[in-house]
Amino acid sequence: MECWPELDSCLVRYPCNTSFEGISSEIISNLLQGNFLRNLNGSLCEELFSSTALTHSFEEDLRAKIETHLSSAGDKIKHYEILCLGVSCLQLFVQVNWTGPQDSIKYNPPLQFLRKSLVNADDCSESQWIEKLAAELVLDGEAISPNIRNLELLLVARAVLNTSFEGLVSAKWWQLRCLMIHQQVLEERSPIIYTQLVDLLSQLTECESVIASSALSAQLQLEAASLWLHYNHVGNAGEAGKAALKQLGLSVDLVGALGKRTKFQEKEIAQLTLSVGVDRERDENEAENTSLAPEPSHTPRDVRLEDDVRLNQIAFSDSDMNNFPLLTPAEQAAILAVCMHKLKSQPKDNLRLEEVYPYLTCLTAQPKVWAIQMSALLQRSKMDSEHRRTVERALMQFQSLSEGVREPEPSAVCRLAWVYCSYLPPAWRLEALLANTYVSLGMVQTALDIFLALQLWEEVIACYNFLKLRHKAAEIIRQELEKKQTVNLLCLLGDATDDIDCYKQAWELSGEKSGRAQRHWAMYYFSRKQYAESIPHLEKSLSINSLQESLWFRLGYAALDQENWPLCAKAYRRYCSLEPEVIQSYHRILDLKEKHVDLEVLKILKTVAVKDIPNFGFPTMIRKQTLKLFGRLTSQVLNNSTVWKLYAEVAAAEEPT
């Protein structure tokens, strides 16, 4: 089927205020104007979704029905209308759980006719309804966060967007976005979703319409960078960010300039700031979305730093250093991608703070895109919460951001612009970050109330332990288990009481499908150095969910202790494939922390370099890299005998040249 390039591009770069001559469709117009509820309460939606007879899963049956409808609809508008129904479901789901306003569907919930199809009853309880929806969306044995609302919207969005729309690039793109949103509502990363995402990204990269448009290519790279960072593929994320900058003709560099940071500083010293170079030969779409920018009074509030010593921002001797060129939304998203890559790829120390702040200062100076402004202020607040002079601003900023999601303005369309490459977390996580800041200020009881409301039981246990009320943690979990038994609660009860029977119950409750149950069971033994007992549970957990980097590392360590070389080699190879720059990362740490020593890691590297472990890759190369690492470390850490002993053992194993 030949697609309409203009409409297809508009759907990808949503929102847009373009009108299309010759296309008369209320469903398409509703989507472009943000009237998602009107689409979901319309006749086409009810016709497609209300009488689905369950023979397999709801998603499979609904997708089969949609494909039948598409095959009988020769008019290409009908194809776009069904696609727009799926996009409306996803956008409304993101609005309710990410951007707000959250009360838009409180008194007019959509898709209520789905209850009869899903639970085969007209009078099912709310808990039955939620349980059935969650069961349809759970993958790899992992649970869905209890704070996510209106799961029926995501379920229908998946069913529609996973349908084959021949020739529609926008359909593949929205399928990619739907999968990323689905991943973020799960409590663990899903290998199934990861495989699908990588495949879709590869297909979109090769699409002719994407290759021909620098704007679409840049946007795809920006969304890819977000995807890679979510799965901790930092190198891939960095490459995607660089590709986006190149497509946009944008250059960003950290430079030094004289300035003052404090109110009483007399001598100006060098401070970092961001130099932004913009290609002035932008295409005709450079002003995209500027007409949809929220009113200044409706943008997320930037809380000023009111400190006795530190200035709100650096006062440069050259005032122009604080003036950045006017940036388009795409350029702001690219700068945010570079900033997030720096945050993820560098150690948590003062140098990272100094390097990241200029990017956030540039973004907050131009509050043009609601989602990007929210994300920039959020990242700044996370860093502010770690320092005593800025933690108060962090607290106020978190409160302001959390309240902003609940405000009725700006419109949903404004908030959803560029949200898929904004790195914005679900709204309930803003509350959790606020609670974490309360903990850092010693307001543990206030934080505990928030964690209880959000059902974040691990944090609840941590708060009770801090208050020296460990027995209370077990008590509160038992109270919740009386209401309903879940795998997570049973695992946490096992952690709180050191009762391994709880892990066994959790495993049985999941139908022997929970990677979490096996992980907690394994860590019970691992923390007690019972490595032989931990290995079977580590392997079972990883067979269910293979994207647990820390578990591969622990499996390798346990196998190393038991001298199970084939398993050790397999575990560390897998760990290195998920964290490909382990030794290189250690070198970078040495560049920043002169006396950083992790003996556990060093012992593992020594064993791998010295012993002839079968199937472990290239021993000579590993040995040379390890020798280089030990050489640098011993030049900086002179008084650690264990480090010198490990270095000597590696050097003794080196073959003479």
Distance CA 308, CA 390 (A): 11
One domain for residues 200 and 242: no
**Separation between Cα atoms, residue 640 and residue 34, nearest integer Å:** 63
The answer to the question of residue 433 being in a domain is no
Residue 430 resides in a domain: no
What lies within 8 Å, CB to CB, of 131 at 6+ separation is none
- Domain boundary residue among 575, 591, 623? 575
Query: Is the Cβ–Cβ distance between 423 and 375 less than 8 Å?
Result: yes
Among 18, 19, 166, residue whose Cα is nearest residue 80: 166
| Higher-pLDDT residue of 377, 191 | 377
Distance CA 234, CA 344 (A): 7
DSSP code for 579? S
Please tell me the pTM assigned to this model. 0.85
Same domain, 172 and 26: yes
Look at residue 286 and tell me if it is in a domain.
no
Q: Are residues 199 and 251 in the same domain?
A: no
Q: In terms of domains, do 497 and 635 share one?
A: no
Two tokens, residue 383: 């860093």
**Looking at residue 17, what is its pLDDT?**
62
From 575, 601, 623, the end of a domain falls on: 575
**Looking at the domain assignment, is residue 217 inside a domain?**
no
Beta-bridged to residue 250, according to DSSP, are 278
Q: Going by C-beta distance under 8 Å and a sequence separation of 6 or more, which residues neighbour residue 550?
A: none
Answer yes or no: is pLDDT of 452 > 70: yes
Handedness of CA 79, 80, 85, 91 (dihedral sign): positive
pLDDT in tens, 416-444: 999 999 999 999 999 999 999 999 888 99
- Measured distance between the N- and C-terminal CA atoms of the chain, rounded to whole angstroms: 65
Burial class (CB in 10 A: 0-12, 13-18, 19+), 479: exposed
Q: What is the pLDDT of residue 593?
A: 44
Most confident of 48-57, 376-385, 589-598, 627-636: 376-385
Distance CA 553, CA 285 (A): 47
From 252, 293, 295, select the one nearest 273 (Cα to Cα): 252
Q: Do 35 and 167 sit in the same domain of this protein?
A: yes
Q: Tell me the residue type at 26.
A: E
Domain range for 331: 234-279+297-425
State the pLDDT at residue 20. Answer: 59
pLDDT (tens digit, 9 = 90+) per residue, 65-106?
A: 888 878 776 677 888 889 999 999 999 999 999 998 877 676
19: number of Cβ within 10 Å: 9
Count of Cβ atoms closer than 10 Å to residue 453 Cβ? 12
Q: Are strands 310-316 and 250-262 parallel, antiparallel or unpaired?
A: antiparallel
In a domain? residue 229: no
The predicted structure's pLDDT at residue 237: 93
Judged against a pLDDT cut of 90, whether residue 244 lies above it is answered with: yes
3-state secondary structure 79-107: HHHHHHHHHHHHHHHHHHHHHCCHHHHCC
Whether residue 508 sits in one domain with residue 404: no
571 and 588, same domain (yes or no): no
Looking at the fold, whether 375 and 394 belong to one and the same domain comes out as yes
- Report yes or no on 450 lying in a domain: no
**Residues 116 and 173 placed together within one structural domain of the fold:** yes
Give the list of residues 6+ apart from residue 156 with CB closer than 8 angstroms, or none: 49, 62, 85, 86, 89, 111, 114
Distance separating alpha carbons of residues 187 and 155, to the nearest angstrom? 17
The alpha-helical segments, DSSP class H, found in 138-168 are: 151-161
User: Could you tell me if 338 and 484 lie in one domain?
Assistant: no
Q: What is the pLDDT of residue 2?
A: 44
User: Of 510, 541, 575, which residue sits at a domain end?
Assistant: 575
| Residue 29 and residue 170 in one domain | yes
Q: Is residue 254 part of a domain?
A: yes
| pLDDT for residue 219 | 95
The answer to whether position 462 is within a domain reads no
Domain count, the chain: 4
Average pLDDT score over the chain:
84
Residue in the block written with tokens 């000597």 = 648
Looking at the structure, do residues 588 and 569 belong to the same domain, yes or no?
Answer: no
Q: What is the pLDDT of residue 166?
A: 78
